[in-house]
Structure 1
Amino acid sequence: METDGEKGFWLYDLRVETVLDGRTPVCRHVEGESFRVVGENLVFDGPAKISMFALASVLPLLPAKQRETAADDWMSTDAEVACPDPHCGGRLRIVREDRRWFSHAATTGLPDQRGTPYWKEEE
């Protein structure tokens, strides 16, 4: 995919928020606490905390959720991930937000195609 002649790709920024919807948590799940996924970074605002076990259950899904998917693909339609403790009612809801363009040159590790890393361009 190209934008203004530059090869690259779009990724969604994500918000991952704790939801209980009346269910009882066993692990530390506080309804409404959240973090964002911006590019490859997890961004925590304020004093938000998350169980490392719950985080482990959602991490493998985040890169796929950032990418464009077909409208009927389950990655497009399903948004909640259960806490891995079978007795816990906590869920993590993944919400797609804005899209962000990443150039291939700013994100590749291939030396002959590499440009300025995207995270240095933001400074």
Structure 2
Amino acid sequence: MSNTAQDDSFQLYDLRVEVVCPPGKRIMCGAKEGDYFTMQGEMIYLPPNQGISIYSLAAVMPLLPAKQRVTSPNDWMTTDALIACPDPNCPSQLQITREGIRTFSHSETTIVPLHHK
């Protein structure tokens, strides 16, 4: 078995998801301009004493695993980063920013064996 076959590493971007809102507009979801959370692997981290609306989180959650992965420069997942608040009366958006890239090990993230073809 070669060293390449034994390597079970993969990489994911760390993400920062931040509330943005047009100046002077009222945010309905309880967030404040600049509120954010970060994502490292499967873990979401909020700063102390800061929350996030479950509805806002539900709107952005399906996109996060795809935003963590390396994508083609031509893919909309690479370029599109603003997600509207699900409340039609709230002008806020969540901006997803790719930050540093982190390396993970398949064997440390699942018990399912890795099969190389």
TM-score where L is the length of structure 2: 0.86
User: For 1:46, which of 45, 48, 56 is the aligned residue?
Assistant: 48
Query: In the alignment, what sits opposite 2:8?
Result: 7
Query: In the alignment, what sits opposite 1:19?
Result: 20
- Distance in 2 (CA, whole Å) between partners of 1:32 and 1:15 is 11
- Distance in 2 (CA, whole Å) between partners of 1:65 and 1:82 is 16
Match of 2:71, SS? coil
1:71-112 per-position Cα deviation (integer Å, ceiling 9, x unaligned): 1211110111111011111111111000000111111231x5
RMSD: 1.7
Q: Report 1:82-101 matches (<5 A).
A: 82-101=84-103
- Distance in 1 (CA, whole Å) between partners of 2:29 and 2:16 is 20
Match of 1:60, SS? helix
Match of 1:105, SS? helix
Question: How many pairs are equivalent?
Answer: 110
1:27-80 per-position Cα deviation (integer Å, ceiling 9, x unaligned): 212001111001000011122211110010001110000000001211110111
Query: In the alignment, what sits opposite 2:82?
Result: 80
Listed as ranges, the gaps of 5+ residues in structure 1 are: 114-123
- Distance in 2 (CA, whole Å) between partners of 1:54 and 1:40 is 18
TM-score where L is the length of structure 1: 0.82
1:60 matched to 2:82? The reply is no
- Structure with more contact order per residue of length (Cα contacts < 8 Å, sep ≥ 6): 2
Question: Matched residues, percent identical?
Answer: 47
- Distance in 2 (CA, whole Å) between partners of 1:87 and 1:69 is 33
Query: In the alignment, what sits opposite 1:36?
Result: 38
Listed as ranges, the gaps of 5+ residues in structure 2 are: none
